[in-house]
Amino acid sequence: MSMTHSRIRRLSQLFIVGMALAVSGCGATPPASFRANLVEATKQRLTPDQEKQVATILEAMFGTPDRPCVLPETGLDVAKLRLAAGPVRSDIVGRKNGLYREHCAHCHGITGDGLGPTAAFLNPYPRDYRPGVFKFKSTERADKPTHDDLVRILHNGIPGTSMPSFALLSETQVDALAEYVKYLAMRGETELALMRAFFELDDADQGKLPETREFLVGETLAVVADRWKAAADAAIPVPQMPADIDLAASIAKGRELFYGDKANCVKCHGPTALGDGQANDYDDWNKPIVEWKKELAGTEDRAWASRATGVLAGDALTPRTIPPRNLRHGIYRGGRRPLDLYYRIHAGINGAPMPAAKGTIAPEDIWHIVNYVRSLPYELDGELGVDRPMVARDRF
């Protein structure tokens, strides 16, 4: 078969890049590229041509890891993105660039797919930003985090996990990194939307996505971007904790709610609150992999199953369950302020099985649960007894 026009163009581009490298001497590495979401592409049974179409559209919309570009619809600030993107280097005035690759990519991956070289060794795994799901935020469960939520996470890190604090970076740097996380998430969400759109094509489309602005921007990118913009108006309303609250009474009330049918915290966190309740569930990142593996085991389509098995080996980590937290350690991933716990209990933890108490528990009563949870590391007369030596050992 003769080479297609685009392949010839690609080869000649590579040749030009090669020449540039030859001129710049040794030490130059080839430009970084984003990895395609092969799990989704294989699930959607995309053809190589369709995968290529998605890659071309994404590059036109978002640029490359070395040179990000964005459309105004995203609301993203390209100057901030450029500070975070690209190889680690200093610019003409000595300002550090390439912050994401220096500080984040070994865990979260250049693409933000959570597949950096360190990822497989960590538990929990580093976050895959591509579905655009974030856990620790001040907004309602299904909403995006605000920019400030991301800045706070970067500042504090995620205690009890490998995610470090970046408090030593300057405000400008943290701000640029938060912007870059949004960029990678929006890019990943757009990729998912495009890959899923093939499913809705009709015969007239001949297996190709429409390349109109109306479809690409209006129906795809803008939908993703608007969800990010809406975060600013999705703040969880928090009633004041009464200043004259009787702490002992509040803790007792919270304890009742914790073990009661409505909040039912005990179902997962267990009668001892050590996280020994239901512990065989998966989060929203691992669950689809577990389910897909089951589907593949039962499929008749051997060729597809074997391709999928290869993709899973290279582009997905071994699924892990998400245990409910041991609440007696006093380590809170999303922050240890009473307000942080209020957010967690009100909205649940997006992407994790922990449900929202919103709608079930009155807003003021959530404060009682917060007070009870905060007392748990110090509670000496709980459900624990001398007949539970395992439990006792874990506590002290």
The conformation of residue 217, written as its DSSP 8-state character, comes to I
* 293 counts as binding ligand HEC under rule CB under 6 A: no
The minimum distance between CB 192 and ligand HEC, in angstroms, equals 17
The H or E element containing residue 190 is: helix 171-197
317 binding ligand HEC? (CB under 6 A): no
The answer to the question of residue 112 lying near ligand HEC (CB under 6 A) is: no
CB of 39 to ligand HEC, least distance (A): 19
How many whole angstroms separate alpha carbon 317 and alpha carbon 115?
A: 8
CB of 279 to ligand HEC, least distance (A): 8
Q: How far apart are the first and last CA of the chain?
A: 71
User: Among 104, 151, 197, 308, which residue interacts with ligand HEC (rule: CB under 6 A)?
Assistant: 104
Q: Is residue 325 a contact residue for ligand HEC (CB under 6 A)?
A: yes
Torsion angle (degrees, nearest 10) of CA 49, 53, 54, 59: 130
Q: Is residue 134 close enough to count as binding ligand HEC by CB under 6 A?
A: yes
Q: How far is the CB of 13 from ligand HEC (least distance, A)?
A: 31
103 is a contact residue toward ligand HEC (CB under 6 A): yes
| H-helix or E-strand spanning residue 255 | helix 247-259
Check: CB of residue 75 under 8 Å from CB of residue 225.
yes
d(CA 50, CA 48): 5
Report DSSP state, residue 377.
G
CB of 317 to ligand HEC, least distance (A): 11
Q: How far is the CB of 68 from ligand HEC (least distance, A)?
A: 15
Preceding omega of 124 cis (within 30 degrees of 0): yes
Give the residue with the Cβ less far from ligand HEC, 11 or 279.
Answer: 279
Q: Hey, how many other C-beta atoms are within 10 angstroms of the C-beta on 317?
A: 17
Choices 230-238, 245-253, 299-307, 345-353 (CB under 6 A): range interacting with ligand HEC = 345-353
Residue 171 CB partners (closer than 8 Å, separation 6+): none
How many residues touch ligand HEC under the rule CB under 6 A: the total is: 51
Q: Helix 338-347 crosses helix 363-375 at what angle (to 10 degrees)?
A: 120
Does 255 bind ligand HEC (CB under 6 A)? Our answer is no
Q: Does 367 bind ligand HEC (CB under 6 A)?
A: no
As measured in angstroms, the least distance from the Cβ of 265 to ligand HEC is: 3
Closest-CA residue to 40 (of 348, 242, 308): 308
Pick between residue 216 and residue 231 the one whose CB is nearest to ligand HEC: 231
Min CB(305)–ligand HEC separation in Å: 30
Using CB under 6 A as the binding rule, whether residue 341 contacts ligand HEC is answered as yes
Count CB atoms within 10 A of the CB of residue 150. Answer: 24
Q: Does 357 bind ligand HEC (CB under 6 A)?
A: yes
Residue whose entry in the numeric block shows the structure tokens 């009100």: 346
d(CA 163, CA 111): 17
| Residue placing its CB nearer to ligand HEC in the complex, 132 or 220 | 132
Under the binding rule (CB under 6 A), the answer on residue 162 touching ligand HEC is yes
Token pair listed for 50: 């369709």
> Per DSSP, what are the bridge partners of residue 96?
90
- 127 scored as a contact of ligand HEC (CB under 6 A): yes
Please identify which residue in 153, 184, 231, 391 interacts with ligand HEC, judged by CB under 6 A: 153
Q: What single-letter DSSP state applies at residue 131?
A: T
**Residues in contact with ligand HEC by the rule CB under 6 A:** 103-104, 107-108, 118, 122, 124, 126-127, 134-137, 145, 150, 153-154, 158, 161-164, 166, 177, 181, 258, 263-265, 267-269, 278, 322, 324-325, 327, 332-334, 341, 344-345, 349, 352-355, 357, 369, 373
